[in-house]
């Protein structure tokens, strides 16, 4: 077994960095594309509702009912697209897709709200379950808040009533962007890590330079380090760049310490690089490596909790997600950005990430030795 040579490793690192950065288009893919993707994800991946088409049936026709409709419109969540006093018109608007939400204010609403027993029917198009659930929750909160404020203004407070006041910590406005953008950072870094490394050994094999490396004095360890260190440096630059965009452009709060993020980023990038190298060693062509990369990428994104909560998954897949490096990094980043968590509160995620990274690296080294024997 050849001893590790700093000189040979340094020359290999120079060669890899030069090969990676000499093409201006490759520089754009590495440094510009992640920022563009973050901008797209940041604005497109949004579960908040805005200007939802709403049809109103006001059978009460009083100042109180008109005021309630104005309150709905003033929130910005609901856009009043039609009004009527017939329930059939509301059903027609929902059936034909002219409205997503229907509000029916019954006769006697004003007198009922004064007594604290008001009832308002909210109908929601459940075709888009996410929009329907969020709109239904918003509408319920608006009606309850209006009834409480109306009774305060008129001095008709119910005896023995409960004044319920809610407050959201860490994300007071409950903006989905604040929750999603930190997770996008992890997904983009994994994507670029896999992209840069999954094609590495395959490209060397297709160009014929792998045979030259095999007969050179380079050891398998030096070859692994030469492939991983440049990508790790690029990954750190990407995390820094994307995090700055998230903080400065999207106004995502950064309540934690960069010193807590750095070791997590190193372990996470190492896990992504090792996974990419494994794909590279089992693929014969760049096309095969590219397809295998996406075959791996989509399942680990789904299992990470980025799109769907891990707690809502079946037991088998919830257990399988423990092997997913994206899940642990996303949990670290979200807790770090939004809650300001430190090492103590996140030690489980760090241990899991370290075990995954080391295991994947050892497997990558084994596969590379097998492919170069």
Tell me how far apart the alpha carbons of residues 12 and 219 are, in angstroms, rounded to a whole number: 11
pLDDT score at 215: 63
Q: What is the pLDDT along the chain (373 residues), one digit of tens a residue?
A: 556 777 778 887 888 788 777 878 878 888 888 889 888 888 877 777 788 899 999 998 888 889 889 988 888 889 999 999 888 898 888 888 888 889 998 888 888 777 767 778 888 887 777 777 788 888 888 887 887 777 777 665 554 444 445 566 777 776 778 888 888 888 988 988 888 888 777 777 777 766 666 666 777 677 778 878 888 888 899 899 999 998 999 888 888 899 999 999 999 999 999 999 899 888 888 888 888 988 999 999 999 988 778 887 889 999 999 999 999 999 999 999 988 888 998 999 999 999 999 999 999 888 877 765 5
Secondary-structure percent of the chain, ordered helix, strand, coil, rounded to 5:
70, 5, 25
Q: How many CB atoms lie within 10 A of CB 271?
A: 26
pLDDT score at 160: 42
Angle at 242 between CA 241 and CA 243, to 5 degrees: 95
Chain centroid, CA 287 distance in Å: 28
pLDDT score at 49: 78
**Domains of the chain and CATH, by start:** 6-45+175-372 (no CATH), 52-154 (3.40.1710.10)
- Where would I find the H helices in 75-219? 87-95, 109-115, 129-154, 176-198, 200-207, 209-215
At how many degrees (to 10) do helices 129-154 and 63-74 cross? 130
At how many degrees (to 10) do helices 258-282 and 200-207 cross? 40
pLDDT score at 170: 76
pLDDT score at 159: 43
pLDDT score at 221: 75
Tell me how far apart the alpha carbons of residues 369 and 372 are, in angstroms, rounded to a whole number: 5
pLDDT in tens, 293-321: 889 999 999 999 887 788 878 899 999 99
pLDDT score at 177: 80
Nearest alpha-carbon partner for 213 in 6, 362, 16, 366? 16
């Amino acid at each position: 077994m050849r001893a590790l040579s700093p000189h040979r490793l340094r020359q290999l690192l120079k060669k890899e960095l030069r090969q990676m950065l000499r093409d201006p288009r490759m520089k754009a893919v590495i440094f510009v594309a992640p920022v563009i993707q973050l901008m797209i994800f940041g604005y497109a991946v949004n579960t908040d509702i805005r200007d939802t088409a709403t049809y109103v049936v006001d059978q009460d026709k009083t100042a109180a009912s008109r005021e309630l409709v104005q309150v709905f419109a003033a929130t910005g969540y609901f856009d009043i697209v039609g009004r009527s006093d017939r329930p059939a018109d509301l059903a027609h608007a929902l059936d034909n897709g002219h409205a997503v939400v229907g509000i029916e204010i019954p006769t006697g609403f004003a007198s009922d709200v004064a007594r604290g027993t008001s009832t308002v029917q909210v109908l929601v198009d459940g075709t888009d379950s996410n929009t329907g659930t969020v709109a239904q929750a918003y509408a319920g909160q608006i009606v309850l808040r209006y009834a409480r404020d109306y009774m305060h203004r008129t001095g008709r407070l119910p005896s023995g009533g409960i004044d319920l006041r809610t407050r959201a910590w860490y994300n007071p406005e409950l903006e989905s962007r604040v929750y999603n953008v930190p997770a996008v950072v992890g997904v983009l870094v994994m994507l670029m890590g896999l992209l840069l490394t999954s094609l590495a050994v395959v490209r060397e094999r297709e160009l014929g330079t792998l045979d030259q490396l095999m007969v050179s004095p380079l050891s398998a360890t030096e070859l692994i380090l030469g492939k991983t260190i440049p990508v790790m440096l690029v990954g750190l630059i990407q995390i820094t760049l994307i995090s700055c965009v998230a903080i400065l452009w999207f106004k995502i709060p950064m309540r934690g310490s960069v010193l807590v993020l750095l070791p997590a980023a190193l372990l996470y990038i190492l896990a992504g690089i090792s996974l990419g190298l494994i794909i590279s060693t089992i693929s014969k062509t760049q096309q095969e490596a590219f397809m295998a990369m996406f075959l791996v990428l989509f399942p680990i994104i789904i299992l990470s909790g980025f799109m769907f909560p891990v707690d809502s998954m079946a037991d088998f897949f919830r257990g399988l997600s423990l092997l997913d490096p994206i899940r642990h990094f996303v949990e670290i980043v979200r807790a770090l950005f939004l809650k300001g968590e430190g090492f103590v509160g996140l030690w489980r995620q760090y241990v899991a990430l370290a075990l995954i990274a080391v295991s994947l690296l050892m497997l990558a080294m084994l596969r590379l030795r097998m492919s170069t024997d």
